[in-house]
Structure 1
Amino acid sequence: MKQQFKEKLRRPTLADNEKFWAFVILPKEVSGTLAHRGRISVEASINNGSSFIVTLEPDGYLSHWLRISAEIMTSAEVNYGDLVSVVITPLDQEPEPEVPADFKLALGKAPDAGAVWAQTTVIARLDWIHWIESAKQSKTRAKRIADACDMLSSGKRRVCCFDQSGFYSKALRAPKEAS
């Protein structure tokens, strides 16, 4: 179901070498119409511009946030602080997620894990990837990749006890807004 709302274009706190981008936080009433509180892919447009496919992320407060690339900002002629009109339409089918290079390499070295990975659903793959990417330290990420390969090798298709919404674990959040 297509949803439209207006929201302030926010500037995230960026790392020194990070390319600029922006984000909006969905109003709770719009987020509440989505199929679930976890990651969900949508077709989106800003100020009635060209549409693009993006995955909404949970904000940790039972809503979602939307990342807007520098290219989209430029084509929509918007800047940080602008009030933008956003239109989102959930996709009928989640697109295949991009597997991070380090996880792809580990799956390639663990054929049993790779075989189970190939049999999981797209949503399950999104959850595995999100669990790995939500690690804050490289040591934790490496452990999660090793654990994922072990669990997949043993036939486990879903990552256990991973709060997709970020509400309970607070691991998933909207970016910190720059001041």
Structure 2
Amino acid sequence: MLNLNTIKNMQPQPANFKAIIQQNREINAAFVEFPFSTEELFGKKGQVRIKALFDNTVEYRGSLAKMKSECHILGLTQDVRKQLGKTFGDEVSVSLIEDTEERIVEISDDIQFIFNENPEAKALFDKMSYTHRKEYIRWIEEAKKPETRENRKTKMIQMILDGKKGI
């Protein structure tokens, strides 16, 4: 018989499947189809945040989404495909669970400083989705030159104030 502590410590069982990496139209974007019912597994019809493990090697946090398709799909970023050494038409094994952890975007001190000087932009930034916040921060962090990083921070503030949700 299960007691409350046992139930709290139970880990959800992963959904495991194999799928073919498909190309999204003519662009360099890939996805796999999720072959199960999200409503039955997660109690959700719409988007489901997940943690995935591809080919037992590459970890990924993303979402299952219903994109005008018969089933939910899971995007595979270019980085994930590169780490796997796979492309469109290749088979990949997927193991995923629902991601219930809060998604936090780490903000470096210099970016936090510019937000402190622009509290309105920071408030708008905080209301954005995790993905949009992550995109802005990654865009700045990927700058190779210090002057590019500074320019991007200034541009980010203006873009946020102009209502642009992401890069």
TM-score scaled by structure 2? 0.51
Identical columns (%): 17
- Letter matched to residue 74 of structure 2: L
1:75 maps to 83
CA distance in 2, matches of 1:37, 1:29: 8
Of the three residues 7, 13, 17, the one matched with 2:25 is: 13
> Which of the pair is proportionally richer in helix?
2
Residues 94 and 36 of structure 1, relative CA distance in 2, 3 Å threshold: farther
1:28 maps to 36
Cα deviation 1:150-175 (Å, max 9, x = unaligned)? xxxxxxxxxxxxxxxxxxxxxxxxxx
CA distance in 2, matches of 1:61, 1:32: 18
- Structure 2: state its 5+ residue gaps: 1-11, 106-117, 133-162
* Aligned-residue offset at 1:62: 6.5
2:67 maps to 59
Q: CA RMSD in A?
A: 4.3
Q: Does the 8 Å contact 1:37/1:62 carry over to 2?
A: no
* Aligned-residue offset at 1:96: 5.3
CA distance in 2, matches of 1:37, 1:31: 5
Is the counterpart of residue 4 in structure 1 residue 12 in structure 2?
Answer: no
Counterpart mapping for 1:138-157 below 5 A: none
CA distance in 1, matches of 2:24, 2:120: 37
Structure of larger gyration radius: 2
CA distance in 1, matches of 2:120, 2:85: 46
Q: For 1:71, what is the secondary structure of its paired residue? A: helix
* Aligned-residue offset at 1:91: 1.2
* Aligned-residue offset at 1:8: 1.1
Q: For 2:82, what is the secondary structure of its paired residue? A: helix
Cα deviation 1:56-88 (Å, max 9, x = unaligned)? 222345632111011111111212111211111
